[in-house]
């Protein structure tokens, strides 16, 4: 169970609710008290096989038009200097994007879909998509499903209800993915992307729906961001190698961003003690770290290589691109260090954890990375 990984992200909420003193003495107990549902788990009825034919079950898909949050395009702030504009892909491609946890209500284990869903979770999900799915907006098609995601507290408990909630969320994502595959031209290359809970579900999709199938030949890249990926215990099960070249296709990219000085102790403890896809504990093995400024596994790059960070306004609903703002270095633990903590708003988590900003920090480079890999992709012969 990956529950400990998200303890860290609940701490900042508990800090406000219960105060630093109580949190220091009873962190696990207070986290569970504030976030884990107390209601009995209600089995989630599987969606009908044709459920995702309904446009209402998608935040993004062809035909939505100007209200599609993933199609938002930020502008650059001020003079861009001599930095190049990210190239547009020269061929069509389709993106399947799974958004991170926006449902934190402890009234139920899974987010509702009926009657428009939970209003606050829906609002936050659209904000996430504007900031995190928009780097992929050069795609011919972007598909981002609504799904009955596990509530935040489901990751913070060893109770079977937590695992059941996560499995139910994955089942929705899987059904949405199958509809996506059936809807996209079979000759079109695909990009998979997701963040946090969305990235967790992508890992399983790659292992169960892509590995060993014709889809693997169509995979340009998988951006599995904001959730740990073990090179030894996850990637072989996923059947997809790490990206070790900037124009490599059929590979995985992933990173977790920290400003300096960084205190990633809780994240590392969770990673070491949570079973990977092969059922084994990663231990002290470094997690996968792609440097988003170079597109390579590991290494360092200066801030001058950053084509544009999406710096949000306080509400995260709008923002502007600022080039040259942050560098990137993969350290020996597999964490992505971004230098002295930049000002990105009030959602930086304790320990200088820039989890919410993993993709916005490297917005323009991610867009350029996608274009480069799509351009290098070749159909199977």
User: pLDDT for 201-210, tens place per residue?
Assistant: 999 999 999 9
Rounded mean pLDDT, 306-326: 91
Is pLDDT at 263 greater than 50 in this prediction? yes
pTM of the model: 0.90
pLDDT at 305: 97
Give the pLDDT confidence score for residue 25 in this predicted structure: 38
Residue 366 is encoded by which pair of tokens? 């991610």
In the predicted model, what is the mean pLDDT of residues 346-356?
91
Cβ atoms of 355 and 256 closer than 8 Å = yes
pLDDT tops 90 at residue 28: no
* Residue 29 vs residues 21, 22, 69, 158: alpha-carbon distances, Å: 13, 10, 37, 13
Contact 256, 267 (CB under 8 A): yes
| CA–CA dist 224, 242 (Å, integer) | 11
Q: What's the pLDDT at 172?
A: 97
pLDDT of residue 24: 38
Residue 279 to residue 71: CA distance in whole angstroms: 38
Residue 27 has pLDDT above 70, yes or no: no
What is the full DSSP assignment across 10-72? HHHHHHHHH-HHHHHHSHHHHHHHHHS--SPPPPPPPPPTTGGGSGGGEEE-TT-GGG-GGG-
Look at residue 313 and tell me whether its pLDDT is greater than 90. Answer: no
Is residue 93 packed enough to be buried (19+ CB in 10 Å), middle (13-18) or exposed (0-12)?
A: buried
Q: What per-residue confidence (pLDDT) applies to 80? A: 55
- At residue 340, the 3 state secondary structure works out as strand
pLDDT for the residue 83: 54
pLDDT at 5 over 60: no
pLDDT of residue 325: 96
Q: Is 262 exposed, middle or buried (0-12, 13-18, 19+ CB in 10 A)?
A: buried
- Grade residue 361 by pLDDT with cuts at 50, 70 and 90: very high
316, pLDDT greater than 80:
no
d(CA 1, CA 195): 18
Query: What confidence category does residue 17 fall into, taking pLDDT thresholds of 50, 70 and 90?
Result: very low
How does 64-89 read in b/e, with b if 16+ C-beta sit within 10 Å? beeebbbbbebebeeebeeeeebeeb
């Amino acid at each position: 169970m990956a529950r400990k990984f998200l303890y860290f992200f609940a701490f900042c909420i508990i800090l406000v609710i219960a105060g630093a003193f109580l949190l220091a003495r009873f962190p696990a107990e207070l986290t569970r008290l504030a976030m884990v549902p107390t209601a009995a788990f209600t089995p989630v009825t599987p969606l009908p096989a044709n459920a995702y034919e309904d446009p209402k079950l998608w935040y993004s898909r062809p035909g939505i038009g100007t209200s599609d949050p993933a199609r938002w395009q930020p502008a650059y702030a001020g003079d861009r200097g001599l930095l190049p504009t990210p190239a547009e892909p020269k061929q069509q491609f389709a993106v399947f994007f799974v958004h991170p946890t926006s449902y934190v209500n402890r009234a139920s284990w899974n987010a509702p879909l009926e009657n428009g869903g939970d209003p606050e979770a829906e609002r936050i999900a659209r904000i996430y998509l504007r900031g995190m799915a928009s780097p992929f907006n050069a795609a011919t098609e972007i598909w981002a499903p609504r799904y009955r995601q596990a509530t935040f507290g489901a990751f913070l408990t060893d109770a079977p209800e937590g695992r059941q909630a996560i499995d139910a969320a994955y089942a929705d994502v899987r059904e949405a993915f199958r509809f996506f595959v059936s809807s996209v031209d079979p000759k079109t290359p695909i990009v998979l992307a997701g963040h946090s809970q969305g990235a967790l579900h992508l890992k399983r999709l790659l292992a169960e729906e892509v590995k060993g199938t014709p889809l693997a030949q169509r995979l340009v890249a998988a951006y599995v961001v904001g959730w740990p990926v073990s090179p030894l215990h996850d990637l072989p099960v996923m059947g997809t190698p790490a990206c070790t070249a900037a124009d490599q296709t059929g590979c995985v990219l992933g990173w977790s961003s920290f400003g300096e000085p960084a205190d990633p102790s809780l994240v590392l403890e969770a990673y070491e003690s949570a079973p990977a896809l092969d059922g084994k504990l990663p231990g002290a093995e470094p997690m996968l770290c792609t440097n988003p400024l170079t597109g390579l596994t590991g290494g360092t790059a200066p801030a001058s290589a950053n084509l544009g960070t999406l710096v949000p306004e306080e509400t995260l609903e709008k923002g502007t691109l600022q080039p040259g703002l942050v560098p990137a270095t993969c350290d020996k633990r597999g964490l992505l260090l971004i230098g002295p903590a930049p000002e990105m708003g009030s959602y930086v988590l304790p320990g200088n954890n820039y989890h919410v900003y993993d993709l916005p920090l490297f917005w323009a480079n991610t867009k350029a990375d996608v274009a480069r890999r799509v351009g290098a992709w070749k159909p199977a012969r």
